[in-house]
Amino acid sequence: MTHSTPHRTHTTRFWPRLGALALGLACCAGNTLAQRLPPEVAAALARAKVPPSAVSLLVTKADGAGPPRLNHRANVLVNPASVMKLVTTYAALDTLGADYTWKTRFYADGPVRGGVLAGNLYIRGGGDPKLVLERIDPAFQALRALGVHKVRGDIVLDHGIFEPVERNPADFDGQALSPYNTAPDGLLVNFKSLIFSFTPEPDGKTAFIKTEPPIAGVQIDTRVPLSTASCGDWRSELGADFADPDRVQFLGRYPAACGERSWPVAYVDPASYARRVLQAMFTNAGGEFSGKVRDGSTPADARWLMDAPSLPLGDLIADINKFSNNVMAQQLFLTLGLQGGRPGNLAASRAAVAAWWPAAIGKDVPAPTLENGSGLSRDERTSARALGQLLRRAASHPQGAVFAQSLSIAGVDGTTQRMRDRGLAPEALGNARLKTGTLRDVASVAGYATGRSGQRYVVVGIVNHPLAAAARPALDALVEWTVKDQAAKPN
C-alpha cells in the first residue's frame, strides 16, 4: 500500500441541534456581522440556498497586521469537519517537533541461536500512524538480519500503548467498511484495510483481482467476469460479499469500460486484521514459527531486539492534511496524550490540547471542543477566529513551512484537486494551500492564500447547513476573492 487513501467523511444530519447552538451564541459573539459578504460569495450562497447566517468567514493577513479583510460570524462556534485536523497537526508539530518518530519495537523472551528464537517474539506497537506493508517488510528483513529466521513459540502483538477505542465502525454513518471509519490502534497495521485492484484481462472475459496486503486465512476471489455495462456504479455491479472474515467473494460482474480501478475496503473483522496480515508478511519474508499469532502484553523482562521507526512527523502530517486521513489524525491525537508511561486515551489528549492552547494560540480565543481530533465527529466545535489565530501563529512558527507544506495546493493535489475541475477559482489554483472539510451538513476550508500583491493571507470558511455541500462553490469564491486582493466593503 503506497498511499493514504483520501477519505471523505459524512454524518447523519445534526443541523437542528447545531443550528440551535449557533443561534444561542450569535447574540453574544462580538463583531459577527461587521462586513458585507463579497458579492461573488453572496451570489454563490444564494444559488445554493444557504443563508449568510449559516456561514462563518475570516480573511486576514498572515502576519496579523491590521484589521481582518473579512470577518463574518467569525466568533460563532461551529462544526469545522476535517478542518479540525489543523489543530491536531499543529499541536503535534509544536510540541513534538517535525523529526518526531514512533517506534514499533521487537522483543524476545528466549535466546536466539542458529537462526532460531527459542521462545516468543513480541511486536510492541508504538502508535505509528502509517505502519504499512512498505515499512513492515523491511522490518521483518531486518529481524532476519539479526538472526531470527524461526520462532519456536508465538508471535505476540502488543497494542497497549493506547487504550482501546471501543466503537462500532458503523455507528458514525452506517458505513462500516469505509476506511475512514477505521478506529485507531496502538499497533495499527495498514489502516486495517484491504485494497482490491481490478484489471480487465486480454481475453475480454474476466478481470484479474489483486489484493494488498497479503492476509492469512482469507480466501479471496482472484477473477470476476466482465460485463459490457457502462462504468457507472461499478462497485455495486461487482456484487461483493465481505461479510465472512474468512472469505471475500465477488458474485457479480466488472464493467470492462472501467479499465483499471481500485477499491479500498476496511476489513470486516478489524480485531483480527493485524494478526492475519503480520502472519502472512512474516512467512512471506521467509520467517517460520511453531506457535500462533496472538494479542498480548510484552513481559517486563523480555529482551529488546530492534526498533522499526516510523516516517518523521513532518512527513506524516502531509498525509493527514492533504488527504484528510482520519485514522492517522486520531493516532496523532492519541499520541499527544501519552504521559508518564500510561496508555494514551482520548480524554488525556483532550486535556493535553486544552493545556497547550492558551500559551500557543492565545487566551483571548476559546480552545476547540475536541472529540477525537480528526473532525470525524458530530460534537467537535471551534470558530473561524480560533482557526485563523492558529494559522497566524503557525505562519511565524520555526517549523511553519513544514506545516504549510502539509496542506493541499489548490487545484493541484490532495482534497483540493477538484477546485480545478469546478473552474470557479482560476487565480487561486497554485496560489493557496488549504485544508478542506466535508461532513453531511458541513463544508469548510482553511489555510493560506497569496494575493496578487504578494501579501499572504489566512482564509477560513465554514458552512453549517443542510445544503452545505451545495455551498462548496461559495468557499471557492472566497479563496478566489482573497487571492484577487479585493477589499471588503463596510456596512
Do 476 and 400 have their domain in common?
Answer: yes
Residue 2's pLDDT is what?
Answer: 37
pTM of the model: 0.91
* Domain membership of residue 250 as a residue range: 102-310
Instruction: Say how many domains are in the chain.
Output: 2
What pLDDT digit, counting tens, does each position of 30-60 carry? 344 446 899 999 999 999 999 999 999 999 9
* Residue 280 included in any domain: yes
Average per-residue pLDDT in the chain?
Answer: 92
* Residue 2 included in any domain: no
Is the Cβ–Cβ distance between 474 and 417 less than 8 Å? no
Do 113 and 245 have their domain in common?
Answer: yes
With 60 as the cut, is the pLDDT of residue 13 above it?
no
* Residue 306 included in any domain: yes
Do 152 and 257 have their domain in common?
Answer: yes
Do 324 and 182 have their domain in common?
Answer: no
> What share of the chain in percent tops pLDDT 70?
92
Which of 294, 310, 326 delimits the end of a domain?
A: 310
Is the Cβ–Cβ distance between 418 and 424 less than 8 Å? no
Which of 266, 283, 310 delimits the end of a domain?
A: 310
With 80 as the cut, is the pLDDT of residue 28 above it?
no
With 70 as the cut, is the pLDDT of residue 346 above it?
yes
Interior/surface letters 207-232, b for 16+ CB within 10 angstroms, e for the rest: bebebbbebbebeebeebebbebeee
* Residue 8 included in any domain: no
CB within 8 A of 389, min separation 6: which ones?
Answer: 361, 362, 365
- H or E stretch including 180? none
Which of 284, 310, 336 delimits the end of a domain?
A: 310
CA-nearest of 301, 238, 241, 2 to 137 is 2
CB within 8 A of 123, min separation 6: which ones?
Answer: 104, 105, 106, 155, 156, 157, 158, 187, 278
Beta bridge partners of 331: none
Is the Cβ–Cβ distance between 27 and 77 less than 8 Å? no
Q: What are phi and psi of 176, to 5 degrees?
A: -65, -25
Residue 340's pLDDT is what?
Answer: 82
Residue 166's pLDDT is what?
Answer: 80
CB atoms within 10 A of CB 283: 14
What pLDDT digit, counting tens, does each position of 435-488 carry? 999 999 999 999 999 999 999 999 999 999 999 999 999 999 999 999 998 554
Residue 486's pLDDT is what?
Answer: 59
Do 325 and 431 have their domain in common?
Answer: yes
Do 387 and 426 have their domain in common?
Answer: yes
Task: Give the three cell numbers for residue 90.
Answer: 499543529
Do 374 and 328 have their domain in common?
Answer: yes
Do 257 and 113 have their domain in common?
Answer: yes
CATH number, position 37: 3.40.710.10
CATH number, position 122: 3.50.80.20
With 90 as the cut, is the pLDDT of residue 417 above it?
yes
DSSP 3-state helix, strand, coil percentages of the chain (rounded to 5)?
Answer: 35, 25, 45
Task: Give the three cell numbers for residue 86.
Answer: 489543523
Is the Cβ–Cβ distance between 51 and 470 less than 8 Å? no
* Residue 124 included in any domain: yes
CB within 8 A of 340, min separation 6: which ones?
Answer: none
Please tell me which residue, 490 or 359, carries the higher pLDDT value: 359
* Residue 6 included in any domain: no
Q: How far is CA 396 from CA 61, 92, 399, in A?
A: 12, 16, 8
With 90 as the cut, is the pLDDT of residue 306 above it?
yes
Do 135 and 266 have their domain in common?
Answer: yes
Do 154 and 194 have their domain in common?
Answer: yes
Interior/surface letters 345-376, b for 16+ CB within 10 angstroms, e for the rest: bbebbbebbeebbeebbeeebbbbebbbbbbb
Helices 85-96 and 326-336 sit at what angle, rounded to 10 degrees?
40
CB atoms within 10 A of CB 167: 11
- Rounded CA Rg of the chain: 24
* Residue 440 included in any domain: yes
Please tell me which residue, 167 or 482, carries the higher pLDDT value: 482
Please tell me which residue, 169 or 66, carries the higher pLDDT value: 66
CA-nearest of 323, 300, 311, 273 to 437 is 323
**Residue whose entry in the numeric block shows the C-alpha cell 471475500:** 248
Is the Cβ–Cβ distance between 200 and 254 less than 8 Å? yes
Give the C-alpha separation, 485 to 246, whole Å: 58
Report CA 269 to chain centroid distance, whole Å: 21
* Residue 406 included in any domain: yes
What pLDDT digit, counting tens, does each position of 325-334 carry? 999 999 999 9
Residue 359's pLDDT is what?
Answer: 98
Beta bridge partners of 445: 436, 461
Mean pLDDT of the 79-106 span:
98
- H or E stretch including 52? none
> What share of the chain in percent tops pLDDT 90?
88
Do 195 and 318 have their domain in common?
Answer: no
Q: How confident is the model at residue 17 (pLDDT cuts 50, 70, 90)?
A: very low
Mean pLDDT of the 380-406 span:
98
Residue 170's pLDDT is what?
Answer: 74
Do 252 and 148 have their domain in common?
Answer: yes
CA-nearest of 429, 431, 478, 368 to 86 is 368
